[in-house]
Structure 1
Amino acid sequence: MSMDLKKGLAAAMAVCFAIGGSAISQTNGKLKLPEIKYETYTLPNGLKVITHEDHRLPLVAVDLWYHVGPLNERPGRTGFAHLFEHMMFEGSEHVGEKAHIKYVQGAGATDVNGTTDFDRTNYFETLPANQLELGLWLESDRMGFLMEGLNRDLLRNQRDVVRNERRQGEGSPYAAADEAVAHLLYPKGHPYYGDVIGSHADIEAARIADIRDFHQQFYTPNNASIAIAGDFDPAKLKELLTKYFGPIPAGPKVDPVTVVTPPITSQRRQTVTDTVKLPQLNIAWLTPAAYTPGSYDVSAAIFALGGAKASRLDEALVYKTQVAQSVTCYSRPNKLNGTAECSVIAKPGVKLEDLEATVWAEIAKLQTEGPTAAEVEAAKAGSLTQKINGLQRLGGFGGVADTLDEYNQYTGDPGYLPKDIAAAEAVSVASTKAAAARYLTKDTAVVVYCVPGKKVLDDVPRSPEDTDANVKITNPYTPEFETAQEWRKTVPKAGPPVTVHLPVPQTFTLANGLKVYVVEESSLPVLSATLVARAGSENNPSGKEGLASLTSQTMGEATTTRDLKQLADAQERIGTRIGVGSSMDGSTASMTVLTNHTREGFDLLSDVVEHPAFKVEDLDRLRKQRLIGIQQETDSVSAMAQRVGPKLVYGDQPYGHSQTGTNESVTGLTRDDVTGFYADHYGPADSALVLVGDVTPAEARKLAEQYFGKWTGKATAAITLPSAPTLTPTHVVIVDKPGAPQSALIAYGLGVPGNSPDLQPLQVMNYVLGGSFASRINMNLREVHGYTYGASSNYSLYRGGGPFQAGGLVRTDVTGPAAKELMTEIRRFPSTPPTEAELNEAKTARIQSLPGQFETTGSIASSMGSIFLYDRPLDYYATLPEKYRAVTAANVERVAKEDVHPDELIIVAAGDRTKIEPQLKDAGLGPVEVRDINGKLVTDAK
């Protein structure tokens, strides 16, 4: 569970869309806007219900919003809403301790989470339709009966977990600057002053009495709304809501928060230090509240300033003068007010004062000249694409249920979508210019310089073990009421089994050898297109590590007829961005467009794939940025561990190298290397075009032939797989990062190929070991010991067998004990394979969660691309349910013994060596070495 910033695309294919014509005939036509059909009613206890029916997939999303966040917290009690987000997963009276997440994951839920933002806390899960009653049982029990399951041990554990989450954030580069910005924007005591997570002191000061009071005040039916979207019977749903939520008494009235944010009338500045390689400039402003006209105008202004790929600041700082490593600008409206912020990371040797002067010069131009009409239209197009593309999903961030709840929270109108779109469309050049002149001024800004230096943390000791030992817990209900609710102890039975239909693509091959995969999904006017090539990092020649990823990255910069700005502007004008990237096994160029822009999108996608310019200036700029990025990896213990671990397992083979390359290899890469790699590995005979969305097979053929039919190239399917490495006895490797508040603790070993015949038994096995929240590793390290915010295990399923890894970020002071517990779980697993209950839960979860993995056109396109990349049969995904059902206990026991190698692991601990080395030596896990970030042995033993 984590705080969300509501970024990115999201949502569910559950919108009623009336679209005339085909995807092709709509090109340049007017797109009909979406309508989310919904019903709403309020239970007698005040719970607002919002429902939306959609019967295309056997899924249902349950999304519960409580109208509480830091907005409602008192000084000295910061972080309570977020702490409660964690407590709500600890177990309620009738569900049982730590059982909530086991039930939902075992039922095959996807998009399961709880998140806290400044103005609200939400809990959501997307379930198979036959498990709707289970979701309502769980959510109602923790709304009405959480206190009975709460004790001081659970509270102490979750205080540790939440503080680990805060340390995880504190360990991130530039986190000190982020907090400083908030402290300058708001006075102390303001609801938005602190981090949503709260301060260490306030979290540690939380006591059972405080928690009980907070729950009884805010986690009540009259302070919540529940949105349910998907495949359900409305009458039956109302009956179930009345059954499960109806008996819960209304709580006290929650008065609206009317805090007035003081305006900033003179610039505020601060300089902070952090353990980073490069300095960073942050400039932020107070802006209008969410869903007010001014918030839309500010968003457009920020997009023009630094949100577009070729924005004004990117042009001035990143592309032309190349004095900045990166520019990031965004706006974030909340209930009381919003904020806008620009962050600029300097290149080595560049003064922040010089960057700041350029930023203010560009803002002045925007204020006096205004944005161009193209900039405003691009901002609006991107906003519309994001909204509609998001509505492909039922649940999760930005899904249909989430959208209904968010509109209800901020506007009181769940059906606000058309008004939201209309308000965004009303933004003009004049209104954007006015917003920039009014809100983005020097006098109303806060400016924070973050420079390399010591990371200053405000940690506090843990509370005494006997804290709250003498507190008496009083049941909030009468014995009579409790007796009347005894029926809740019975776990609801699943409804009739749902039929899972997973996509099988239709295929054809063009005359030039290009394979085309098509999945028609016409519920929304959205089309995703992905070109997949077997041009991954496994093809990097020795000494040229990073070549595959640099080739794909440079492809997306310019074509032979469009320079960087022309190409970026053409994409954003139609509300899309073509993403070009590579993995170990392949490379992709992909886009998602609204279907009134299908032809423009295909013109751009084919141009990027077939006519990359590989301009010397683009290549040189990207190479310099990458070299600096490699240096910046020492800012993060996670990045350090991820570079070292595979290297120690695989050595100098492609699987052992970071896909970004090394300082030496990237420095030596030339334009001839890049163009040669493109010529050898990109071509129609060894690529596939995947089209998913509002397009028929006949239309897909026309598009493929028109835009890719003349593509030529010599690439063939010749791939040399790396040889299996020699395994070494288990030992510990320390990578030193002085002052790190956490350690990245990850055990690395040998994995299995992506096409292993044992893949399904292996996935079932790993689900129990570390592949789910309720896995043995996570329950031990997080829930039992409070060492981490989260720990897991996974297999990187490369074509030739990628690494196994297990672990997570742990507190520095418990790195040794955490390593012992991690290895205890791994070592005992082959001899104590999953129980029958664990096996059944894992199989059910894998099967029932499959439909949720195919909600969006983008996710379907990715899956279909993997069919080509790994030579899988066309019905690969359609047959997965039966393959999981066929997994037996004997299968799982065998792969646990064959594919978990507890005596041949390399335990990498990246963190503060002075503090973790004694612990790891005492842990008795094998010899302890110290290596640098490149895996070279450090001989100055301490």
Structure 2
Amino acid sequence: MTKTIALASVALLALTAPLAAQTAKNAAGTTTAATLPQGAPVAALVRDIDIPYQQFTLKNGLRVVVHTDRKAPVVAVSVWYHIGSKDEPKGRTGFAHLFEHLMFGGSENSDQSWFQPMQAIGATGLNGTTYFDRTNYFETVPRGALDTALFLESDRMGHLLGAVTQSKLDIQRGVVQNEKRGNDNQPGGLVNYKVLETLFPDGHPYQHSTIGSMADLDTASLADVKGWFRQHYGPNNAVLVLAGDIDVAAARPLVEKYFGDIPMGPKNEPTLAAVPTLKQRIDLTFKDQVANTTVTRTWAIPGMLDKDAPALDVAASIIGGLDSSRLETSLVRGSKMAVSVSAGAQSFERVGRFVVSAVVTPGQDPKAVGAAIDAAVADFIRTGPTEAELRRAKTSDIAQTIRGLEEVGGFGGKAVALATGAVYADDPGFAKKQLAAEAALTPAQVKAAAAKWLSRPVLAYTLEPGERGAYQEAASVTAGNQAASAPMKAAPGAEGPAPVARGAIPTPTMTADLQFPTIEHAKLANGIEVAFARRAAVPVVNVAIDFDAGNAADPKSKLGTQALMLKLLKQGTDRYNSEQIAQAEENLGANISASATMDRTKVELSALTPNLAASLDLMAGIVRDAAFRPADIERVRGQQLASIAAETKQPVPLALRVLPPILYGAKSPYGVPFTGTGNPAAVASVTQGDIKAFQNDWLRPDKAKIFVVGDTALKTLMPLLEKSFGDWRASGTAPTKDFSGTLPESKGRIVVIDRPNTPQSLIFAGVLTPEKGTDDLVPLDQANDVLGGSFLSRLNMDLRETKHWSYGVQGLLFTVQHTVPYMIYAPVQADQTGPSIAALRGQIASFIGDKGVTPAELTRTISGSINELPGRFESGSAVLSAMESNDVYGRPDDYYTKLPGRLRALTTSELDAAAKSAIDPAKITWVVIGDSAKIKPQLDTLGLPVEVLPAAAVMGGK
């Protein structure tokens, strides 16, 4: 297999990778900075990153970029239009985003939801997004379905308007407004509007948000949106990227066939915008239902094409973006005035934003934290970065880029890199040039850029707990009664083509069944099992060491012990303190994380192949030799308590705290908040002894398995694993989790968690099924795909596309090893909370009753599930996750290879039987997070008992 990103010149460095180290220790018993592991040189990493491409342009101006990657039989299709919210005229905010939604609603020769044919062909990574400067649509499809995808993309580019109706406009207007409500409903969700208004002057193209205002969305007319399309969506304003199992010789005739007849549109001139400077420092204070105060500093900076953009990006990393950053070191680890810090440089086409934030530790003075941020920025301007800081920032950024380029499509794959360069820089290879510019940066250059842009007046603002201000709601808008507005005028000759019959949508050719990687097995000297799969598309190796523990093992008397222990693993070992661990990780371009599901606890490593040995050495110390120093325990304890408090202010985490204990009861290992953070009283009382005891009991070699996927070989890997973990021995008898208890009887009811003054309710419902994760869940999973598991599911289509009360609804099997719950997620507008539950109950009862899976639904879901498999496992991390799931649920290595045959054999009656056996609609518990005063009268009409609790009542997960 040919690597799409080759690191041939640095592969030899793997032989010397254990630069990790001499183990000289200082008086405190920790290694000095000089002995920290060092990775491959930055310049070498960048030099060999490559995304080769060819390009051509059609007569109508459509620019086409082609990248060949044969690792999987899939092609990423990415269409970028050079039009975004910055180009919207006054009074038309939100138009670009609204039209993104309309373009999923069907075109003249495929007048159906875009997802209808896309699901059937097995498209993965399917979506569309809008931002200040562009609108894009993307999907990864099997090679045999490329004609289908190109037909559909070209039909909505050149043959759309005949299918855009007033009804579709009203539906998508409602969907977008519910998307806006959902974003605004988050703690601090209204702050960004005011920040943009303040940072950018009146009339500046970046002053309004991409999603726009409720009022402008209310007044959008059919004539307006059609004029918007004619003006901006011609082929000469677009870039098409094809990346994957395709070459330019095959691509050119296909693109000519499907796009060549689309006439050129008006020439688009993206709006110009200067970088504004505030006349003086501005201080603002916002209030909202937040648990902790956040202090922020932000400046307008130049856009992505400016020569200072790479320097500002690494400056942000060094100031507050990296785990070894100055603010992390001073405010979080040092003075402990902040729970967390962050910093980043957001680059848009014309301008950008430099943002530094800190979440204030409860009891600390926000003004003092703000002053500390100001002092840190001033010091950086004065002194600039050190060579070591700059090297860590570069390595971390470049390593993350390499990981993202493993995939051809999605939100951040190679197609995105090529399209970004083509659209903004007129150069598909722009991304590599930016990385090269970053690699060449000197401390003096970074210091100069920071001094130039961060010495100007700052917008300083604080978000603190309190009642938020008035919320702008949408008007009640239906077809024909929009408020009057002057229609947008199309440019001369921009009326658009008359509807053209193009024939039927091309039928995909047969998609080859998934060839899941061969899994090799071995054992370490101490008996730890190792499972390995080779994936060589990028020079990255992913390693996970999984323990049979999980949230279900968290002690009931001290819920949150596991989460505290996991957070502490990287805060200090016998060799390194927390800052040194962060520096070592960044030197190596490694990512090490610790996390838990309900059934498993794991520590995971993503390492660059040349740095694998040193990265495994660092990982082993974190897993085996965590120090759990008292000072670190107290600091991390404060962070976890702040996280728990934040969960009670956020709808989804709050629901995940409330529902599982109701479903499983207090005695079940699963009867705990699924967030895993525990309850505050318990976390406050956990001792160092408790933490060490949990680690000794559950993170031990006789409970461990190691899974590896990546650019190496088993014979190369095993000596490294043996060195890191082979001499690890367990003592005593390992504990087990007890699932033998009786579960409480499920009963239909509604539990309201009161969250006053919110524009949206979150419905989060659940019922226990008789199934276990180790059972054959394929029929039930496919049945749920029809009911609630996909965009085209009955639940989503009813509440989103028919009633437009929600941005999106999902029904899901929350797969755990033992009793599996069926859950429903539905954020809905507050004034339709009761009717939404009634609609959901009706749809479920109908599906379980006499309106089960239809033959058409069976064909669609089975075809999609089979065809999507090659795209689903394009990345090594996806393969790793599948290997872990197979182990937890007792599946064979060839489970996914044989899955297509299992799917083809399913019948409608099999799916219906699975759903009827698993889901009892009368026993569903409905948890609703919302404004009780507004929604309880609606809920009282549903014939179910209703209980109202304040959010504070669920702090302990009761």
TM over 0.5: yes
How far residue 469 of structure 1 moved from its aligned partner, in angstroms, is: 12
Matched, 1:688 2:705: yes
Distance in 1 between residues matched to 2:305 and 2:710, nearest whole Å: 30
How far residue 270 of structure 1 moved from its aligned partner, in angstroms, is: 1.8
CA deviation map 1:292-316 (0-9, x unaligned): 3211111111111110113211222
1:419 aligned to 433, 458, 478, which one?
A: 433
Distance in 2 between residues matched to 1:559 and 1:542, nearest whole Å: 28
1:635 alignment partner, SS class: coil
Q: Which residue of 1 aligns with 2:33?
A: none
Change (3 A) 1:732 1:937: farther
Contact 1:589 1:609 in 2 (8 A): yes
Distance in 2 between residues matched to 1:171 and 1:418, nearest whole Å: 39
2:368 alignment partner, SS class: helix
Contact 2:790 2:810 in 1 (8 A): yes
2:824 aligned to 763, 781, 806, which one?
A: 806
How far residue 934 of structure 1 moved from its aligned partner, in angstroms, is: 7.2
Q: Which residue of 2 aligns with 1:369?
A: 383
Distance in 1 between residues matched to 2:489 and 2:272, nearest whole Å: 33
Change (3 A) 1:482 1:916: same
Matches within 5 A, 1:907-926: 907-922=926-941, 924-926=942-944
Q: Which residue of 2 aligns with 1:749?
A: 767
Matched, 1:24 2:43: no
Contact 1:731 1:927 in 2 (8 A): yes
Change (3 A) 1:417 1:632: closer
CA deviation map 1:479-516 (0-9, x unaligned): 99757x3233x021112332320123101011101111
Q: Which residue of 1 aligns with 2:683?
A: 666
Q: Which residue of 2 aligns with 1:650?
A: 664
Matches within 5 A, 1:763-774: 763-774=781-792
CA deviation map 1:600-644 (0-9, x unaligned): 211111111111112222222222222222222232222222211
Distance in 2 between residues matched to 1:276 and 1:36, nearest whole Å: 44
Distance in 1 between residues matched to 2:573 and 2:67, nearest whole Å: 44
2:753 aligned to 723, 735, 741, which one?
A: 735
TM-score with structure 1 setting the length:
0.94
Contact 1:518 1:700 in 2 (8 A): no
Distance in 2 between residues matched to 1:230 and 1:920, nearest whole Å: 51
The residue type equivalent to 1:878 in the other structure is T
Contact 2:286 2:463 in 1 (8 A): yes
Distance in 1 between residues matched to 2:496 and 2:94, nearest whole Å: 35
Q: Which residue of 2 aligns with 1:709?
A: 726
CA deviation map 1:528-578 (0-9, x unaligned): 111111121111222122222222221122211111001011001122221
Q: How many pairs align?
A: 922
2:573 aligned to 556, 559, 562, which one?
A: 559
Contact 2:75 2:242 in 1 (8 A): yes
Matched, 1:530 2:536: no
Q: Which residue of 2 aligns with 1:49?
A: 64
2:808 alignment partner, SS class: strand
Distance in 2 between residues matched to 1:604 and 1:135, nearest whole Å: 45
Matched, 1:36 2:51: yes
The residue type equivalent to 2:371 in the other structure is A
Q: Which residue of 1 aligns with 2:87?
A: 72
1:879 alignment partner, SS class: helix
Q: Which residue of 2 aligns with 1:853?
A: 872
The residue type equivalent to 1:467 in the other structure is N
The residue type equivalent to 1:93 in the other structure is E
How far residue 669 of structure 1 moved from its aligned partner, in angstroms, is: 1.7
The residue type equivalent to 1:732 in the other structure is I
Distance in 2 between residues matched to 1:700 and 1:303, nearest whole Å: 32
How far residue 259 of structure 1 moved from its aligned partner, in angstroms, is: 2.5
The residue type equivalent to 1:62 in the other structure is V
- More moved, 15-24 vs 194-203: 15-24
- More moved, 269-278 vs 514-523: 269-278
The residue type equivalent to 2:340 in the other structure is S
Change (3 A) 1:480 1:225: closer
Contact 2:669 2:738 in 1 (8 A): no
- More moved, 897-906 vs 265-274: 265-274
The residue type equivalent to 2:460 in the other structure is V
Contact 1:534 1:717 in 2 (8 A): no
Q: Which residue of 1 aligns with 2:395?
A: 381
How far residue 872 of structure 1 moved from its aligned partner, in angstroms, is: 2.7
Q: Which residue of 1 aligns with 2:883?
A: 864
Q: Which residue of 2 aligns with 1:445?
A: 458
CA deviation map 1:762-808 (0-9, x unaligned): 11111111111111111011111111111101111111124221132
1:41 alignment partner, SS class: strand
TM-score with structure 2 setting the length:
0.92
Distance in 1 between residues matched to 2:98 and 2:203, nearest whole Å: 19
Matched, 1:678 2:691: no
Distance in 1 between residues matched to 2:821 and 2:337, nearest whole Å: 38
The residue type equivalent to 2:810 in the other structure is S
Q: Which residue of 1 aligns with 2:535?
A: 521
1:338 aligned to 347, 352, 360, which one?
A: 352
Matches within 5 A, 1:586-601: 586-601=600-615
Q: Which residue of 1 aligns with 2:31?
A: none
Q: Which residue of 2 aligns with 1:698?
A: 715
How far residue 474 of structure 1 moved from its aligned partner, in angstroms, is: 14
CA deviation map 1:87-123 (0-9, x unaligned): 111111111132x112112211110000011110100
Contact 1:644 1:935 in 2 (8 A): no
Contact 1:221 1:250 in 2 (8 A): yes
Give unpaired runs (5+ residues) of structure 2: 18-38
How far residue 190 of structure 1 moved from its aligned partner, in angstroms, is: 1.5
How far residue 896 of structure 1 moved from its aligned partner, in angstroms, is: 0.8
Contact 1:92 1:147 in 2 (8 A): yes
- More moved, 399-408 vs 872-881: 872-881
How far residue 55 of structure 1 moved from its aligned partner, in angstroms, is: 1.9
Change (3 A) 1:758 1:16: same
Change (3 A) 1:617 1:473: closer
Change (3 A) 1:718 1:23: farther
Matched, 1:85 2:127: no
How far residue 214 of structure 1 moved from its aligned partner, in angstroms, is: 0.5
Give unpaired runs (5+ residues) of structure 1: 1-11
1:793 alignment partner, SS class: strand
Matched, 1:776 2:766: no
1:842 aligned to 861, 867, 879, which one?
A: 861
Q: Which residue of 1 aligns with 2:112?
A: 97
2:198 alignment partner, SS class: helix
Contact 1:297 1:427 in 2 (8 A): yes
2:298 alignment partner, SS class: strand
- More moved, 561-570 vs 18-27: 18-27
The residue type equivalent to 1:25 in the other structure is L
- More moved, 734-743 vs 317-326: 317-326
1:578 alignment partner, SS class: strand
Q: Which residue of 2 aligns with 1:108?
A: 122
The residue type equivalent to 2:817 in the other structure is R
Change (3 A) 1:175 1:65: same
- More moved, 622-631 vs 600-609: 622-631
Q: Which residue of 1 aligns with 2:28?
A: none
Matched, 1:282 2:296: yes
How far residue 925 of structure 1 moved from its aligned partner, in angstroms, is: 4.2
Q: Which residue of 2 aligns with 1:873?
A: 892
CA RMSD of aligned residues (A): 2.5
Matches within 5 A, 1:481-520: 485-488=500-503, 490-520=504-534
Change (3 A) 1:478 1:689: closer
Distance in 1 between residues matched to 2:458 and 2:955, nearest whole Å: 48
1:556 alignment partner, SS class: helix
Q: Which residue of 1 aligns with 2:26?
A: none
2:902 aligned to 839, 858, 883, which one?
A: 883
How far residue 695 of structure 1 moved from its aligned partner, in angstroms, is: 0.4
Distance in 2 between residues matched to 1:742 and 1:600, nearest whole Å: 49
Distance in 1 between residues matched to 2:462 and 2:244, nearest whole Å: 48
How far residue 236 of structure 1 moved from its aligned partner, in angstroms, is: 3.7
Distance in 2 between residues matched to 1:771 and 1:17, nearest whole Å: 40
